[in-house]
């Protein structure tokens, strides 16, 4: 008698196996085993002729979805069916959220088991939790499945109906999404606000006062009992004081005149106010608050945060990481309070256990907040974790423990000081009892440092005291535009507006960046020209689909379907069909949308048109000579485009590049230009005899107007030969690359060793000794956090036994084995990626990499064929049916066919 348990991932399966008896067999489905077709080749022949086939949903037959088993999942499905043949019971143990419920339902439809079936759910992977879950199994919740299926169909209807329209009207390859498009609009709206922003200027005075050898700051707040203007008094759209505000706006001359008038006058304390303040700890983490805090403190993106959290969950360190709930179980509360008692003392415990409730009606993703797993919480140091895994666990541990700690008691002190008719304010903060701040301070990594930062000590003062003025200065200020969204603030906004589900925010933000709708620069999400064009089109012709209120109501309806309060079919019919349905709207609007207008982005104060073209954004302007077009550099965003830059780009196109001077040795002219990848210098002109003149990009952060002739000459000497390496005799060079300046130790066939050049070192002046010093530093010091933790562990290589993993790289996910890396194609998801597919990619990559010379090609062919043959032999020992494949592989090797074909076919067979 045996029981088959199916979970999603191999990591989760390995952890759970440790907690179950030997009669239980645990296998992984590798995520979804069935989905709507992702490409035309996945559509079954029987329905390819149907007009709804490309949509993947039969809108004419009650929105019946067309489910297919992806090619890379067929082997997994077969293995699960084979495993089921030997089982007397099936337990579906996928995640407890809606997506997990849906995966279990799909497994049930595919496997069609004839043995008893149970649905097991748990929110942490510990021995106690798994054993308890075994005794509390239930049936699949069909209402939750229906809600998830409705969500999937809705997303497909929106994406597959609107995206083709964007291809026709703006540019090929663009995508629209039910939540994605709303998120992009939020970014664009904020950028419009920033462009419309008008800066205001104001001045005030700041004093450094002293009493009893304790210094403290004081800021000017009134003159003649009239409030002095500050940043909050300005209208962002005009740069002027808001109408109706009775404030005194000081300019520089007035501020300095006031300073001179009160410079040596006596200061008197006029009023002191002390106000007690009590602060309560934040509730434990939900998915969205974890993403926000990890972004603020650890500088992690939402997608990376969820990847690390999932790894921690599957290895049994934390509870389930997709949750809207702030609730803690009694077990968790006891564990957290025990930590407080042991580490901080009973005085730091809250008098009563704190119980948090979730305000959101739709908070049904899981039973608990994100917390350390188990009935006792391991401290971060006890986990054995390191790197970013340690830091994220540490964050979760601190937040959970702090939630059961006593309130922080503070006293806020305000002192008003008068000198002549000028009033100054000093603000202080005294922490009377730190409470939960001992463990966790929101927005800071170091609790001890943060505790000190929280406190601002003022001297013991009383009314009529005469503090001394040690320093007095006039300070100018300029109002700042609204801050751009970071990943943290965008997640917070989406959640507050009720748009999307927290579990999907990571993938949404990732899609926005991957599809070119935004650039992530210095932790800020900056929308591109394409985002402006798409948002304008949707706002004009499909306003509901980018309206936060409309999208929020869709989420509420989906929640109601999950609870049985709403019916899924009438809702889909109303949304998609009929006179006001999406399908009708798209047909009606398509003929009304002018593609030329749709591709044009209108920006304030820019006379030229900004258009979206096949190769990116470009300027279009009428001149005496006719229509002028000029490419906009790829790193230039709508926020950065100003009239001066527009004039320069157009002038460069019509009048030619700006000449800096003549090269001192060759006499050729040196120009400064702006290209698709930013500004650069060029030696000589493009001509029939000089089609590719020497060029050099400007160092990052260097303005084109600051480039001198000497600097240009130096840049054109790159790469600079610094000398030879004393150990190898190979040359050492300094150069500028796509990612900045670097030094390289070039050993030819042996390989190249790179190190980045960081300030204060300069690529134009760095010497050999310093380059050797940089090259002697270990590469690990440069940091490769993205590849440190795998996105997915696939298993062992059939020959070497080394683990094959999927990592997140600069250009997207890739699979790695030894020194060989192979990128996943754009249509391959990490979740569905298999070991078999990895072996195919690696073999093909290894073969392709060896085709540089005939000798290398032959060597690669033999190596790839030998590896494939070995893998096939190993498989044959387990499965006799593989003998044919082995024979085929040997024949193929003997005939010395193309390496890529040999490796690919044999690896597939194995």
The catalytic residues are 320
**Could you tell me if 899 and 852 are in contact, meaning their C-beta atoms sit under 8 angstroms apart?**
no
User: Rounded to an integer, what distance in angstroms lies between the CA atom of residue 816 and that of residue 290?
Assistant: 29
Separation of alpha carbons 295 and 589, rounded Å = 40
Rounded Cα–Cα distance for residues 77 and 671 (Å): 62
d(CA 543, CA 538): 6
124-157 burial, b for 16+ CB within 10 Å, e for fewer?
bbbeebbeebbeeeeebbeebbbbbbbbbbbbbb
CB 16 within 8 A of CB 122: no
Distance between CA atoms of residues 658 and 650, nearest Å: 12
d(CA 338, CA 333): 8
Question: Which residues lie below 8 Å from residue 878, measured CB to CB, with a gap of 6+?
Answer: none
Integer CA distances (angstroms), 352 to 325, 334, 346, 369, in order: 21, 11, 12, 19
Residue that is written with structure tokens 């070995």 in the block: 870
Separation in Å, CA 152 to CA 99, 145, 216, 306, 370: 10, 10, 59, 21, 26
Q: Is 895 exposed, middle or buried (0-12, 13-18, 19+ CB in 10 A)?
A: exposed
- Classified as helix, coil or strand, 441 is coil
Are the C-beta atoms of residues 630 and 641 closer than 8 Å to each other? no
Q: Which residues contact 683 (CB under 8 A, 6 or more apart)?
A: 663, 666, 668, 670, 693, 694, 695, 716
Query: What stretch of H or E contains 695?
Result: strand 695-697
Closest CA to 267 of 427, 475, 464: 464
Cβ partners under 8 Å of residue 152, min gap 6: 36, 65, 102
* β-sheet bridge partners, residue 201: 478
Number of separate helices (H) and strands (E) present in the chain:
27, 31
Give CA–CA dist 563/98, Å, rounded. 12
Question: Which phi and psi angles does 809 have, rounded to 5°?
Answer: -110, 180
What are residue 65's DSSP bridge partners? 57
List, as one string, the DSSP characters of 276-345.
Answer: EEEEPPPPPB-HHHHHHHHHHHH---HHHHHHHHHHHHHTTSBS-S--------HHHHHHHHHHHHHHT-
Residue 807 contacts residue 784 (beta carbons within 8 Å): no
Alpha-carbon distance 122 to 366, whole Å? 9
Residue 773's contacts (CB-CB under 8 Å, 6 or more residues apart) are none
Q: CA-CA distance, 136 to 118, in Å (whole number)?
A: 10
Length of the chain as a residue count: 910
CB–CB of 206/475 below 8 Å?
yes
Q: How far is CA 474 from CA 171, 263, 417, in A?
A: 53, 11, 17
Instruction: Fill in the DSSP letter of residue 425.
Output: E
CA distance 605 to 159: 34
């Amino acid at each position: 008698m045996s029981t088959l348990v199916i979970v999603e991932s191999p990591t989760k399966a390995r952890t759970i196996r440790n907690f179950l008896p030997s009669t239980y067999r645990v296998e992984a489905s590798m995520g979804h085993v069935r989905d709507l077709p992702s490409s035309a080749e996945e559509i079954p022949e029987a329905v390819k002729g149907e007009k709804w086939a490309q949509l993947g949903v039969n809108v004419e037959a009650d929105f019946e979805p067309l489910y297919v088993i992806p090619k890379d999942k067929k082997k997994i499905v077969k293995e699960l069916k084979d495993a089921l043949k030997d089982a007397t019971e099936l337990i579906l143990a996928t995640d407890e959220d809606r997506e997990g419920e849906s995966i279990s339902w799909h497994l049930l439809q595919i496997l069609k088991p004839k043995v008893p079936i149970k649905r097991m759910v748990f929110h942490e992977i510990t021995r106690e939790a798994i054993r308890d879950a075994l005794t509390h199994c239930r049936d699949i919740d069909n209402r939750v499945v229906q809600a998830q299926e409705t969500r999937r169909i809705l997303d497909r209807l929106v994406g597959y109906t609107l995206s083709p329209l964007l291809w026709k009207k703006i540019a090929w390859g663009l995508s629209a999404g039910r939540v994605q498009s709303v998120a992009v609009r939020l970014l664009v709206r904020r950028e419009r606000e920033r462009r419309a922003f008008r800066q205001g200027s104001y001045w005030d005075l700041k004093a450094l006062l002293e009493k009893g050898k304790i210094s403290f700051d004081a800021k000017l707040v009134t003159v003649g009992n009239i409030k002095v203007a500050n940043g909050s008094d300005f209208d962002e759209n005009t740069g002027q004081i808001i109408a109706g505000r009775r404030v005194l706006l000081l300019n520089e001359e007035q501020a300095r005149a006031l300073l001179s008038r009160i410079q040596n006058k006596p200061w008197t304390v006029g009023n002191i106010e002390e106000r007690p303040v009590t602060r309560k700890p934040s509730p434990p983490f939900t998915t969205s608050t974890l993403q926000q805090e990890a972004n603020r403190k650890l500088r992690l993106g939402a997608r990376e945060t969820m990847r690390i959290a999932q790894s921690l969950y599957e290895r049994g360190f934390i509870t389930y990481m997709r949750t809207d709930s702030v609730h803690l179980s009694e077990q968790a509360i006891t564990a957290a309070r025990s930590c407080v008692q042991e580490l901080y003392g009973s005085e730091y415990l809250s008098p009563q256990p704190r119980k948090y409730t979730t305000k959101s009606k739709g908070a049904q993703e899981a039973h608990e907040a994100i917390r350390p797993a188990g009935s006792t919480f391991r401290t971060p140091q006890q986990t054995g974790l390191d790197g970013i895994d340690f830091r994220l666990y540490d964050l979760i541990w601190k937040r959970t423990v702090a939630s059961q700690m006593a309130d922080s008691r503070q006293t806020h002190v305000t002192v008003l000081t008068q000198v002549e008719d000028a009033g100054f304010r000093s603000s202080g903060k005294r922490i009377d009892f730190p409470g939960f701040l001992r463990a966790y301070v929101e927005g800071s990594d170091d609790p001890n440092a943060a505790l000190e930062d929280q406190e601002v000590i003022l001297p013991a003062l009383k009314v009529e005291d005469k503090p001394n003025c040690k320093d007095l200065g006039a300070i100018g200020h300029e109002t700042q535009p609204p801050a751009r969204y970071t990943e943290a603030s965008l997640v917070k906004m989406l959640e507050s507006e009720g748009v999307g589900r927290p579990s999907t925010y990571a993938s949404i933000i990732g899609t926005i960046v991957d599809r070119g709708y935004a650039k992530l620069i210095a932790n800020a999400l900056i929308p591109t020209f394409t985002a402006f064009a798409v948002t304008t089109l949707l706002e004009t012709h499909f306003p509901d689909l980018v309206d936060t209120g409309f999208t929020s109501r869709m989420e509420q309806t989906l929640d109601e379907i999950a609870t049985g309060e709403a019916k899924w079919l009438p809702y889909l019919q109303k949304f998609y069909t009929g006179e006001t349905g999406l399908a009708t709207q798209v047909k009606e609007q398509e003929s009304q949308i002018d593609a030329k207008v749709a591709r044009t982005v209108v920006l304030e104060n820019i006379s030229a048109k900004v258009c979206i073209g096949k190769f990116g954004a470009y300027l279009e302007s009428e001149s005496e000579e006719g229509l002028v077009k000029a490419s906009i550099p790829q790193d230039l965003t709508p926020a950065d485009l100003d009239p001066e830059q527009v004039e320069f780009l157009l002038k460069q196109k019509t009048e030619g590049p700006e000449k800096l001077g003549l090269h001192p040795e060759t006499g050729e002219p040196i120009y400064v230009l702006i290209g698709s990848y930013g500004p650069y210098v060029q030696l000589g002109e493009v001509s029939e005899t000089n089609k590719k003149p020497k060029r050099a990009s400007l160092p990052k952060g260097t303005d084109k107007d600051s480039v001198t002739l000497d600097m240009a000459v130096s840049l054109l000497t790159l790469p600079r030969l610094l000398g030879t390496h004393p150990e190898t005799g190979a040359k050492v060079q300094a150069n500028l690359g796509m990612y900045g300046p670097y030094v390289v130790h070039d050993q030819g066939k042996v390989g190249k060793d790179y190190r980045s050049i960081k300030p204060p070192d300069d690529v134009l002046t760095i010497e050999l000794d310093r380059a050797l010093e940089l090259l002697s530093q270990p590469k690990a010091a440069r940091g490769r956090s993205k590849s440190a933790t795998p996105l997915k562990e696939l298993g062992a290589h059939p020959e070497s036994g080394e683990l094959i993993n999927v990592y997140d790289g600069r250009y997207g996910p890739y699979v790695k084995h030894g020194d060989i890396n192979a990128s996943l194609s754009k249509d391959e998801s990490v979740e569905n990626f298999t070991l078999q597919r990895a072996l195919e990619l690696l073999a093909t990559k290894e073969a392709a990499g060896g085709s540089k010379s005939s000798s290398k090609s032959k060597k690669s062919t033999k190596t790839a064929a030998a590896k494939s043959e070995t893998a096939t032999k190993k498989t044959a020992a387990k499965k006799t049916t593989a003998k044919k494949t082995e024979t085929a592989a040997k024949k193929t090797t003997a005939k010395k066919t193309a390496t890529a074909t040999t490796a690919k076919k044999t690896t597939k067979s194995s």
